[in-house]
Structure 1
Amino acid sequence: MADETILAPPPIEPIRLKDALEERYLAYALSTIMHRALPDVRDGLKPVHRRLLFAMRQLKLDPAGGFKKCARVVGDVIGKYHPHGDQSVYDALVRLAQSFSQRYPLVDGQGNFGNIDGDNAAAMRYTEARMTAIAAALLDGIDEDTVDFRETYDGEEEEPVVLPAAFPNLLANGSSGIAVGMATSIPPHNADEVCDAALYLIKHPKASVETLLTYLPGPDFPTGGVLVDDTAGLVEAYRTGRGSFRLRARWHTEDTGRGGYQIIVTEIPYGVQKSRLIEKMADLLQAKKLPLLGDIDDESAEDIRIVIEPKSRNVDAALLMEQLFRLTELEARIPLNMTVLSKGQVPQVLGLAQVLQEWLDHRRVVLRRRSEHRLREIDHRLEVLGGLLIAYLNLDEVIRIIRNEDEPKPALIARFALTDVQAEAILNMRLRSLRKLEEIEIRAENDRLTTEREGLVELLGSDEMQWDRISAEIKGIKKQFGKATPLGKRKTVTAALPDIDVAVEEALIDKEPVTVVLSEKGWIRALKGHDGDLAKLTFKTDDVLKVAIKAQTTDKIVLFATNGKFYTLEASELPGGRGQGEPVRLMIDLDEADELLETFVHKPGRKLVVASSVGNGFVVTEDEVVAQTRKGKQVLNLGDGERALLCRPAEGDAVAVVGENRRLLVFPLAELNELTRGRGVRLQKYKDGGLADVQVFTAATGLKLSDTSGRVRTVTELDEFKGARAAAGSAVPKGWPKSGRFGLTGFETA
C-alpha cells in the first residue's frame, strides 16, 4: 500500500476573545445602522423601501398601469436586491400601502392590506400592488444619471444608492427604526407645509426654527387627532431634533334626549390599534378605575366611531375625556428623534432646518446631474445631426462609398472629415430614413437643441437659476399633492391644552345647596338648602350652634384648629340634617386638647392670613392648606406654650392688628410674607399679653367693626394707627367693641 500524504493542519492563530467580539459586533452594528434601521435624509427611505420601489419600477408598476401580485414584487426584491426573509419584505410593502400608517402611501394596494384594528394583511399571493404618484415622484429622473448606482449583494444587478426624491418624503411620511445604540422616530408632516418651509429656506438660508414653524406648525398624522403641545416645546424639539408630542383623540358630544348625551370619538392617536384601545378601556371599566364612564361601544365601519356613555347626565364631558386621556391610549406621546443618515453616510441627529437643507442640497445635486446628463445627450445628438446634414448634402457620394468600399467607415471619415460617431450614425441609418432626411428638419432640430444647450449651460453656471428651478419643482409638487387635494388636506389640528383640574369624584356628585352646621362641642351635619330656620335646630344637652355656613355638595369644607393644622372634609360626605350630626373628631385626627377655630368653604386661589397667640403670622394660599388625609396639614408652626389663634381671608391691601393690650396697628399687607408653612413674622410688638385679632381690609373703604348686637360700622380715620409691621401701635379709638376684637371673620356665614 502506497504511502499516503497527510497534509498538516493549518496553523491556529490565537486571538483575544475581546478583540474578536468587538470586531464582529462593530460590523453588525454598522450593517444595522447603514443598511437596515436608519433612513437616508435625502429620500427618507430605508434600503428595503428603496429596493421595493425600484423593483416595482423595473416591473413597470406605474400609477397608471396595472397591478401585479405582491408575491412577484417580493420575489424580485429578495432575489435581486435584498437578501432577507420574504415576510419582512412583505411587511414593509404592506406598511407602505396602509393609509393609516403612511401619511402619503407609496404603494397602491389591491386586496386586504390590514386595518387600524391591528388585523394582518392577507398573504402576498392574494394581494396586488402598484406604485402611487408620490412613489413615481421619488423615482422621477432615476434614468438620467441623477443618482449613483452600486452593485447588488451578488454583483449581478445594480441598485440606486438613493432616489432622486422630488417629494420631501422624510418629513412628509416620517420614519421609525431601532439600530444598535441609536434609534429614529420621525412623525409624518403635511407635504404642503413642508414645501412652504423649504421654499422659505431657499430664500432665507439662515431662517430660525421659530420662523420655519410658522409654515410647518407641527406633525400631521394620517389618523388625524388633536396636537396639544405648547409652542415653546415644539420649537425646542425641532431645534434639537429630539422631543415628543402629545396627541389626543378627536371627539364631540351627541344629544340623546332628556338631558343625556354620549361622546363620539372619530379619530384616535397615530399608531394606536383601535381594538387594543377599546379592550384596555373595557378592562379599566371592569376594574372600576373609570368611575365617570358608564359604557363603551365600537360602532366603527370604514370611519372610526367609538361611542362613550357617561355614568350619569351630570358628568361633565370634558372631565370624563380628561380622565380617559390620562388612563388610556386616547392620548399618546409621539416621540421625535431625527436620527438619520446625513449625506447617506453619517448617522446624525438633525434639526428641522438641517433636514430641509439636506433635502434641498440633494435636489440641487439631482438638478445639476440631470442637466449635465441632458447636456451630454444634446452634444451627442448635435454631433449626429452634423453628420446627417453632411450626408444629406452629399447623398450620392455617401451611397457610392458605402456600395463600393470594403471599409466604408474610414472612407467616409476621410472623405468628409467626420467623427467616428457621425460615421457610425450614417452607416446605421436605414434606407427608409432617407426619405425623411431633409435639410429643413435637420436644421430645425439642430437650432432647437442648440437653444436648449445654451439654457442648460447658463443654468449650470448660475446658482440663482438653479434655486429658481428647484423652487419651481417644489411648487409643482405642492400643487400636485397640496392642501387643495383630498390627500393633502391637513388632518391633525392644533389646540391648547384644556385647564381641567377637578377631582373625578366631584363629577359624580349632584350639585345641591346645603348648610353645614357645626356646634360648640364639635358635632357637624349638613342640612339641605340654604333657607332652613336655624332657630329650630336641636343639639345635645348643653350644646349650641357655633357656626353655620352655606355651601354646595361639591364643596370642600376647611377647618382650622389651635394646633396650627388645617383639615378638609367633603360636604357631600357629611351626615344629614335629620339627626344631630356626628362628632367631627371622628372624621379628623384632632386631639382633645385642641379646638377648632374656623370653619369655611374652600375657595381655590384665595389667600389667608394665619397667626399664633404670640403674634406671629404670614399669608398662605388657600390651595396650600387643603389636606388630603384625616391627619390634616400642618401650616402654622408653633413653639412651646403657643397656639394658633386665628385664620382670616387676605382680601385687601392693609392689615389691622389688635393686641390683648387694646393697642391697634395698621400696616400694608405687602409687608407680610407669603409662605406655604412656617412660624411667620412678628405682626405686633407686646410687653404684656399677646395677639387678640387680625383683619385684612381695603384702606380706601375703611376698617369694619361689629359689636355684640351685630351692628357694623366703618372706621376710616386710621392715620394715627398706621406704622411698620412689628410696631406697638396706638390705643384703640373710642367706641371700640368691648370684646377687644373686630367682631368679623370675613368668611361668609349664615
Structure 2
Amino acid sequence: MVADYYIEYASYVVKDRAIPDVDDGLKPVQRRILHCLNSIDDGRFNRVASTIGDTMHYHPHGDQSIGDALVVLANKEYFIEKQGNFGNILTGDGAAAPRYIECRISPLAKETLFNKEITEFVPSYDGRSQEPVCLPAKIPALLMLGSDGIAVGMTTTIFPHNFNELLDAQIDILAGRKPKPVYPDFLQGGIMDVTEYEDGAGRIRVRARIEPDGDKKIVIREIPPTTTSEKLLESIEDAAKKGKIKISSIADFSTDKVAIELALPRGVYSEDTIRELYAYTNCEVSINSVLRVIKDDVPMLMTVSEVLERNTEKLVEYLTAELKLEEEKLEKLFHEKTLAQIFIENRIYKRIEKCETLETIFSETRKGLLQHKDKLRREITDEDVEKLLQIPIRRISLFDINKNETEIAKILADMDGVHDHLEHIKPFAIEYLTNIKEKYGKNFPRRTEIAELDTVKARDIARKDIKVHHDKINYFIGTNVKASAKDATPLVCTEFDKLVLLRNDGSCRVISVPEKEYIGPTKFVMIADRSQIYSIIYRDKKSGTWYAKRFRIGQYMLNKEYNIIPPDCIIEQLFTNDGVVVELQLIASKRRSTNAVRVDFKDIALRSRDARGIRVTVYQVANVVVLNKGSKFDESSQEEEDTSEDAQQQEDPQQDQAEATTPEQEEATPEQEETPPEQEKRKLKRRIDEDKPFFLE
C-alpha cells in the first residue's frame, strides 16, 4: 500500500506541480492563473487577491503558492501586466500584499496563448469548473520563460532565452534552414560564456558587469541571475572578512538598476580586485542546465533544438486548426447569407401564406429553395429552414440585395485566402511569427551579453599574505604561533598552499596551513610545489656512505608520512635551486689522489620520492662547500623531468650498488687511513647541529 501511495504521489508531483509542459511551457499553477486572468479580462487591472481567489477554483493548493507563482510569472514580463509593487528581482525585495497590487493578462498572451475552440478542457479538482489541459501556445513559451523545479527523483533547470532569437530560430526551421544557436538571456543582464552550453544539456558561466571608476573605485552594474544585490553584498563582505579581497567600504545604491560601489584601500587597485571578485564571490557563477519537461504526459530530457522543433510543429498544428475553424465559419456564413437572399429575392416566403400546418410550411419552403440548389455549397437542413422562417418582416422589407451580394463576395474571397493559407501553411506560419516579432519584439531586447570569458582561478590570484611562524623550541607551527626568535622571518603563503615538513631522518609530511599545530623537531619547512625538484645530500649513519638524490614530492596524501631516504640515514644538505654544484671535501689522506668529490646535480637523474640516491663517496667528509648556488628552478629547461612518475615508482630502492663510483673509492677504505685521534678531530671540525630547524623557501 505504501509503495502504491508513494508512486501516486511521485507521479502527481512530477506531472501536476514541479515540471513544466513542453508545449505551453507552463506548470499547472501558472496555466490556471493565466486561464483565470483571461476568463475575467475586461481590459482593466484586477486586484491580485481577487485573482488568487478565482484561481483557487482550479488549483487545489493554498493561496500563498498561487500568489508566489503569480508574482514570479508577472516579473518575467511576458504574459502578465502588473501595477504596484511586485518586488524587485535585482535587490531581492518581496512583493507587496496581494490586496495592494493589481494585474491583467498581457496583449501578447491574449494573442498567442488562448483559443477556446482548439483547447482541450477537463473538470477541475472538485468537478465544478473546466480547466485547460494545455494552452495552445503559438510561441516557444517554455524557452522564453525558463523554469526550475524539484520533483521526486528529478529536477529541472531551464534558462530563459531571448524572445526575438527564438522566433528567428522558428522562422529558420519553417523555411528549411539550419537555425542559429539560441542561448540564454536573463533579465538581470550580466556577461555569459556559453562555450559549454551544449544546446541546453551543459552549463554556462555568468559574470556580473563590473566597471572600474578610476583606480580606487569599482561599480557593479549588472549581476548574475542566481543572486541579488543583497546576496552579492553578503558574499563580498564574507570574502573581505576572510581576507580574500581588500576593500575599504561598500555601498548599495540599487533600485530598478544595480549600482554597488566598492572603495579600495591604499595599495589595492581595481584591475586586481575585479579578478578577485570573480574568483571569490558570487560575481561569477556557473549554472548547469537540466532541460527536463513533460512531453505527451511523460517526463523526459530534451535539448533546446528539440524543444524548438516541437514548438514549431505545434505552431503549424494550431494554425492549421484555426484556419480550418475559420473555413467552417465562412462556409456557414456563406450558406446562411445565400439562403437568406434566395428566400427573400425569390419571394419564397409568399408560398407559406396559405399553409395551415408546420409540416406544409417546411415542405413549401424547402421546395422553393431546392429550385436554386446550384447556388449552394451544401445540403439544406431543417435547421436552415427554421432560421429562414424566423426572419422578421421588417428585415425582409429592408433587405438590400446589392449589399448582401457584396458581403457574399467578400466571404468567398476570405475563403480563397484561407484555402491558400492551408495549402501554404509554412509560409503562413512564417508570416505569423514575423508579425508577432514586429509587434512585440522591441519590448524584449537582449540583456545578457555573450562573450568568451577567461577562467579566473582563485589559486592563481590568491594573495600571498598568510604568515606562518615556527616555534623552534616548543615545536609548533601555524598562523597563530609566536616565533621562537624575534628576528625570525615568517613563511609567507596563500590560503591554498600546503606545507612540506621534512626532518633530518628523511621523514616527510605535507599539511595544510594550520592555525597552530605541533610538528615535533623539524629541520626543513617549505611550501609544497608538485613541480619543485629537490636536491639533497644525505649520509648513512652506520656505514658513513654519502649519497646524492634529486626528486619531486609529487602525489601525496595530506598528513601521511613518507620516507625520502632509507632508515638510519640523515640529510646533510637540501637545495631547491636548479643547477646546484657542491664539493664534498674529504678528510685529508696521502693515500688518495684527491681529497674532494664534486657533485653536479644536473648530472644526477631525477628519481622517485621513495628511491635510494646515488652513492657519492664512502669516505669521511670534512665539509660540504657550495660551488654554484644555481638559479630558481625552471621546469621548462629540464629535459630529464619529463620522465613519467609511474616509471620512477618502479625503481628499486636498493639499486644504489650499481651507481657511479668515484676514483678514490678504489684506493683505500676509511678504516685503513684514519687513526682514532684523526677521526675525533674530523668530527669536531665538521660537526653539524642535526636538530637545528630553519625555514627554507
Task: Provide TM-score, normalisation by structure 2.
Answer: 0.67
- Tell me the secondary structure at the aligned position of residue 197 of structure 2: helix
Distance in 1 (CA, whole Å) between partners of 2:529 and 2:204 is 30
Distance 1:378 1:633, change over 3 A: same
Q: Which residues of structure 1 form unaligned runs of 5+? A: 1-18, 510-521, 527-554, 569-585, 699-725, 732-750
Correspondence for 1:234 among 192, 197, 208: 197
Correspondence for 1:427 among 389, 393, 397: 389
Q: Which residues of structure 2 form unaligned runs of 5+? A: 371-379, 468-484, 490-496, 511-517, 539-545, 586-593, 635-657, 664-697
Deviation at 1:42, TM superposition (A): 0.6
Contact 1:609/1:620 (8 A) holds in 2: yes
Deviation at 1:619, TM superposition (A): 7.8
CA deviation profile, 1:41-75 (whole Å, cap 9, x unmatched): 111111221121122112224xxx32122233222
Distance in 1 (CA, whole Å) between partners of 2:156 and 2:110 is 25
Partner of 1:88: 65
Partner of 1:122: 96
Distance in 1 (CA, whole Å) between partners of 2:402 and 2:660 is 116
Partner of 2:33: 52
Aligned AA (2:171) = L
Distance in 1 (CA, whole Å) between partners of 2:548 and 2:292 is 59
Partner of 1:416: 369
Distance 1:447 1:46, change over 3 A: same
Distance in 2 (CA, whole Å) between partners of 1:610 and 1:202 is 70
Correspondence for 1:224 among 148, 169, 189: 189
Partner of 2:247: 293
Contact 2:617/2:662 (8 A) holds in 1: no
Distance 1:493 1:121, change over 3 A: same
Distance 1:633 1:126, change over 3 A: same
Distance 1:196 1:387, change over 3 A: same
CA deviation profile, 1:414-469 (whole Å, cap 9, x unmatched): 33224335424423444554477455544444444445445544654x5xx33333
- Tell me the secondary structure at the aligned position of residue 223 of structure 1: coil
Distance in 2 (CA, whole Å) between partners of 1:57 and 1:193 is 27
Partner of 1:38: 19
Aligned AA (2:46) = K
Distance 1:29 1:557, change over 3 A: closer
Distance in 2 (CA, whole Å) between partners of 1:556 and 1:37 is 45
Partner of 1:506: 464
| Residues 1:245 and 2:197 are matched in the alignment | no
Partner of 1:198: 170
| Residues 1:376 and 2:328 are matched in the alignment | yes
- Tell me the secondary structure at the aligned position of residue 386 of structure 1: helix
Distance 1:337 1:191, change over 3 A: same
Distance 1:473 1:402, change over 3 A: farther
Contact 1:567/1:588 (8 A) holds in 2: no
Aligned AA (2:23) = R
| Residues 1:274 and 2:240 are matched in the alignment | no
Deviation at 1:362, TM superposition (A): 1.7
Deviation at 1:382, TM superposition (A): 2.6
- Tell me the secondary structure at the aligned position of residue 337 of structure 1: coil
451-460 or 220-229: which moved more? 451-460
Deviation at 1:391, TM superposition (A): 2.2
Distance 1:633 1:49, change over 3 A: same
Deviation at 1:334, TM superposition (A): 3.4
Distance 1:556 1:279, change over 3 A: closer
Deviation at 1:178, TM superposition (A): 2.5
Deviation at 1:228, TM superposition (A): 4.3
Distance in 1 (CA, whole Å) between partners of 2:81 and 2:486 is 75
Distance 1:368 1:507, change over 3 A: farther
Distance 1:164 1:94, change over 3 A: same
Distance 1:23 1:628, change over 3 A: closer
The equivalences for 1:114-513 within 5 A come to 114-116=87-89, 117-140=91-114, 142-143=115-116, 145-202=117-174, 214-217=180-183, 219-228=184-193, 231=195, 233-235=196-198, 238-239=200-201, 243-255=202-214, 261-279=216-234, 281-282=236-237, 285=240, 287-290=241-244, 292-310=246-264, 312-325=265-278, 327-343=280-296, 345-394=297-346, 396-401=347-352, 406-407=357-358, 408-417=361-370, 418-431=380-393, 433-434=395-396, 437-454=399-416, 456-457=418-419, 459-460=421-422, 465-482=424-441, 485-500=442-457, 501-502=459-460, 504-506=462-464
- Tell me the secondary structure at the aligned position of residue 300 of structure 1: coil
Distance in 2 (CA, whole Å) between partners of 1:421 and 1:657 is 116
Distance in 2 (CA, whole Å) between partners of 1:665 and 1:507 is 37
CA deviation profile, 1:375-408 (whole Å, cap 9, x unmatched): 22122123223313322430x3324526856433
- Tell me the secondary structure at the aligned position of residue 506 of structure 1: coil
Contact 1:588/1:632 (8 A) holds in 2: no
Aligned AA (2:197) = L
Correspondence for 1:69 among 42, 47, 51: 47
Distance 1:70 1:557, change over 3 A: closer
Aligned AA (1:197) = A
Contact 2:336/2:384 (8 A) holds in 1: yes
Contact 1:247/1:331 (8 A) holds in 2: yes
Deviation at 1:123, TM superposition (A): 2.4
Contact 1:186/1:335 (8 A) holds in 2: no
Partner of 1:97: 74
Distance in 1 (CA, whole Å) between partners of 2:508 and 2:271 is 31
Deviation at 1:502, TM superposition (A): 4.1
C-alpha RMSD of matched pairs (Å) = 5.1
Deviation at 1:476, TM superposition (A): 3.0
Deviation at 1:215, TM superposition (A): 2.6
Contact 1:185/1:335 (8 A) holds in 2: yes
Partner of 2:7: 26
Distance in 2 (CA, whole Å) between partners of 1:131 and 1:166 is 16
Contact 1:171/1:187 (8 A) holds in 2: yes
Deviation at 1:289, TM superposition (A): 4.7
Partner of 1:531: none
**Count of matched residue pairs:** 576
Task: Provide TM-score, normalisation by structure 1.
Answer: 0.63
Deviation at 1:492, TM superposition (A): 4.5
Deviation at 1:160, TM superposition (A): 1.9
